[in-house]
Amino acid sequence: MPEPVAFGCEFWHCGAMITDPSLCELNATTLARAIARGELSSRDVVEAHLARIAEQDAQLAAFVTVDAEGARRAAQICDAASAPAGPLHGVPVAIKDLTDTAGLTTTYGSALFRDHVPMEDDLVVARLRRAGAIILGKTNTPEFGFGAVCTNRLCGPTRNPFDPALTSGGSSGGSAVAVAAGMVPLAHGTDFGGSVRTPASFCDVASIRATPGRIPSPRRPLGWDMLATHGFLARSIDDLELALSVCEGADAHDPLSSGSFRGDRTSAGRPRIAVTPDFGVAPVARDVRARFAMACEALARVADIVQSSPDCGGAIETFRMLRAAHIANGFGELLKTRRDELTPTVIWNIEAGARLSAEDYLNAERRRTAIYRSFRDLFTRADFLVAPAASVFPWPNEVSDVTAIDGTTLDTPIDYLAVTFIVSLVGFPVLTVPTQRGANELPFGIQIIAPPGCESRLFAFGRTIEQTLGFSHRRPPA
């Protein structure tokens, strides 16, 4: 059988193959159960998703690399096994190209690493494989994950399946599009300031940004850094919970993972929800505020709603400073030695942290601590905190950065992410779900925030609004 050929962002399928496209509409949980019961073969499921990629990815550019041959071999092994390897046995998934995959090109979205093939899997990938998942390929991301539009010198822009003229969001845009378009039922992402949440909102899918440490990162150079975490994107809450269940668990080399995540329980009775359109400080567009108000009206059918927010004064400046310091520390050497090969966005991000002092950094940590405690205080009065998952709607791919909202100029290119990065700052888990929308409306999602370690509570409430309010994924147009 002729093999598909992957080159850069383009994917051709040579030869004819009969596949069942309806398999691409099933979620990961359903597929895993059907494969485990012998009602479906992993090979058929993988072939259906490879065919969907071949059909759509030339336009959407969700994938940097597609490993069709490796996926087929893995599917054959799954189908020959005497028993399921784990909860994701035979299910195709995609991995964001910031994360190492053994034997499979990992570019980090940079031309500097176009030929880089890691020797080992990142732990999150190893745990997915151990659960039986089949890696179809690597999804697109801006260079090193820095950028509002999901594009780089290797691939992109990754186009929104609801309107290919518009952005998918960054930096997990490739994963969001792959899930929304049915190329995979489940995709991995990473989230620093909103990188799974913004694409989820733009592409009408759900996402989870777990409590830092719940999915360990034992190779993270700064072991106590909780700004960046792994996450997942899917079309159903069940799939997010399944993915987290196979990837969580302590690792001795990640100090954050040793914390206790027990004691999470679903609240009895009608939940109490604090809602805020902007945390009191974030710039948020008028049309987003209007859609958020409609979502809150719907939530009032299943919960008691109160307008309330933690005290987030100084949060934007605090995140800017901490983020800049981390990026300068992690990528500063590249700026010295290979500046001409970096994108302007990456250069700006590195230079932003070059002039910070230790006092600047510690003052930011002091303010961060106060904001964290204000979040904690709010959760003595509420079960959840809900906010928009994006401050704007998707914009044209040709526009590289959000520089203004409703005519007001932003101070920096990252300020449009304030509505998400404020939550990153304090490290609380966040479930993003799509809201109801009209036939001609763009997707829009909300963040549902809970105290650290309370992912089970988030999933339970997410299922409630998924089923009773219709806060769930709808297929993009053909």
* CA dihedral (136, 137, 141, 144) positive or negative: positive
Task: Extract the runs of DSSP E, i.e. beta strands, from 222-351.
Answer: 229-234, 272-275, 304-307
Quote the CA–CA distance of 388 and 386 in Å, as a whole number.
7
pLDDT, tens digit, 9 for 90 and up, residues 169-190: 999 999 999 999 999 999 999 9
Give the pLDDT of residue 258: 85
Report the predicted TM-score, pTM, of the whole model to 2 decimal places: 0.95
Question: Which range (30-34, 71-75, 119-123, 327-331) has the least confidence?
Answer: 327-331
Question: Which range (258-272, 333-347, 376-390) has the least confidence?
Answer: 258-272
pLDDT at 11 over 80: no
Query: Could you tell me the pLDDT band of residue 268, with boundaries at 50, 70 and 90?
Result: confident
In order of 255, 284, 306, 371, the CA distances from 427 in angstroms are 15, 21, 23, 11
Per the structure block, which two tokens stand in for 251?
């690792």
Burial of 268 (0-12, 13-18, 19+ CB in 10 A): exposed
Percent of the chain with pLDDT over 90: 88
Mean pLDDT of the 430-438 span: 97
Query: Could you tell me the pLDDT band of residue 83, with boundaries at 50, 70 and 90?
Result: very high
How far is C-alpha 80 from the chain's CA centre?
33
Quote the CA–CA distance of 378 and 385 in Å, as a whole number.
8
Query: Could you tell me the pLDDT band of residue 260, with boundaries at 50, 70 and 90?
Result: low
Can you list the alpha helix ranges (DSSP code H) found in 87-232?
123-130, 173-180, 197-203
Quote the CA–CA distance of 255 and 225 in Å, as a whole number.
10
Partners of 101 in the β-ladder = 104
Give the pLDDT of residue 259: 79
pLDDT, tens digit, 9 for 90 and up, residues 273-296: 999 999 999 999 999 999 999 999
Query: Could you tell me the pLDDT band of residue 18, with boundaries at 50, 70 and 90?
Result: low
pLDDT at 432 over 90: yes
Give the pLDDT of residue 37: 97
Give the pLDDT of residue 343: 86
pLDDT at 320 over 90: yes
Q: What is the DSSP letter of 105?
A: -
Give the pLDDT of residue 12: 40
Give the pLDDT of residue 206: 98
Give the pLDDT of residue 17: 55
Mean pLDDT of the 127-135 span: 98
Q: What is the DSSP letter of 235?
A: S
Q: Is the distance from CB of 174 to CB of 159 less than 8 angstroms?
A: no
Give the pLDDT of residue 261: 74
Q: Report the CATH fold assignment for 5-468.
A: Amidase signature (AS) enzymes (3.90.1300)
Query: Could you tell me the pLDDT band of residue 478, with boundaries at 50, 70 and 90?
Result: confident
Mean pLDDT of the 50-71 span: 98
How far is C-alpha 289 from the chain's CA centre?
22
Quote the CA–CA distance of 327 and 144 in Å, as a whole number.
10
Give the pLDDT of residue 348: 87
Give the pLDDT of residue 3: 42
Give the pLDDT of residue 13: 41
Give the pLDDT of residue 267: 66
Kindly give the interhelix angle for 237-247 and 123-130, rounded to the nearest 10 degrees.
Answer: 110
Mean pLDDT of the 328-335 span: 91
Mean pLDDT of the 100-107 span: 98
pLDDT, tens digit, 9 for 90 and up, residues 199-239: 999 999 999 999 999 999 999 999 999 999 999 999 999 99
Ranges of each domain in the chain: 5-468
- Greater confidence (221 vs 439) lies with 221
Quote the CA–CA distance of 226 and 294 in Å, as a whole number.
33
